[in-house]
């Protein structure tokens, strides 16, 4: 299957297979006017299968959100048809308004205007804790 290359824009590569649509929605790509392509289950020498998203424009990316969802994503910045920059992600130390605290006893459950902030407590096990109640986030 072939999808046209992009002139100037962003390619999100090495997305874990099956996560492409979730990222598409979280980045609100359906609201973009430019061409956006999602390739699902593309062949990958590294992972076997992967998803890819191509965005035919430069947009602001929420790196924390992307890093949290899949730290293995590679971000390719393309300018004038050439690869300009390759960025690798990692689990962010802090997440602001990316995930919500599900503890019904937490102040964030009643105080509407508070930002939901989590800090990385265990990188290996990908455990984030709410800064208010310390409860670990359950996916």
Partner 1 sequence: MSERIRNLISINDLSGAELERMLKLGEQIMEDPGKYSQVCRGRKLATLFFEPSTRTRLSFEAAMIELGGSVLGFSSADSSSAAKGESVSDTVRTVGCYADIIAMRHPKEGAPAAACRKAGVPVVNAGDGGHFHPTQTLTDLLTIKREKGRLDNMVIGLCGDLCFGRTVHSLIEAMLRYPGNEFVLISPEELRVPEYVRMLLNKAGARWQEVRKMETVMDKLDILYMTRVQRERFFNEEDYARLKDTYILDREKLKAARSDLSVMHPLPRVNEISVAVDEDPRACYFRQALCGKYIRMALIMTLLGLDREVRI
Is residue 119 involved in binding partner 1 (CB under 8 A)? no
Is residue 10 involved in binding partner 1 (CB under 8 A)? no
Q: Taking Cα atoms as reference points, which of 98, 73, 78 lies closest to residue 88?
A: 73
Is residue 12 involved in binding partner 1 (CB under 8 A)? no
Is residue 59 involved in binding partner 1 (CB under 8 A)? no
| Backbone dihedral angles phi then psi of residue 72, each to the nearest 5 degrees | -90, -5
Nearer to partner 1, 72 or 129 (CB): 129
Residue range at the interface with partner 1 (CB under 8 A); choices 25-33, 66-74, 85-93, 100-108:
100-108
Q: Extract the tokens encoding 62.
A: 């929420």
Distances (CA, A) of 106 to 35, 83, 86, 94: 41, 45, 39, 18
Residues that bind partner 1 (CB under 8 A): 103, 105-114, 129-136
């Amino acid at each position: 299957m072939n999808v046209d290359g992009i002139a100037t824009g962003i390619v999100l590569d090495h997305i874990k297979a099956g996560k492409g649509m979730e990222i598409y929605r979280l980045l609100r790509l359906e609201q973009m006017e430019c061409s956006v392509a999602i390739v699902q289950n593309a062949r990958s020498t590294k992972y076997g299968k992967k998803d890819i998203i191509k965005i035919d424009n430069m947009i602001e990316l929420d790196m924390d959100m992307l890093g949290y969802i899949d730290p293995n994503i590679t971000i390719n910045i393309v300018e004038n048809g050439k690869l300009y920059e390759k960025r690798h992600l990692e689990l962010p130390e802090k997440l602001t308004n990316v995930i919500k605290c599900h503890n019904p006893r937490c102040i964030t459950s009643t105080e509407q205007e508070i930002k939901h902030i989590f800090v990385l407590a265990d990188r290996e096990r990908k455990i984030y804790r709410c800064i208010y109640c310390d409860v670990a986030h359950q996916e």
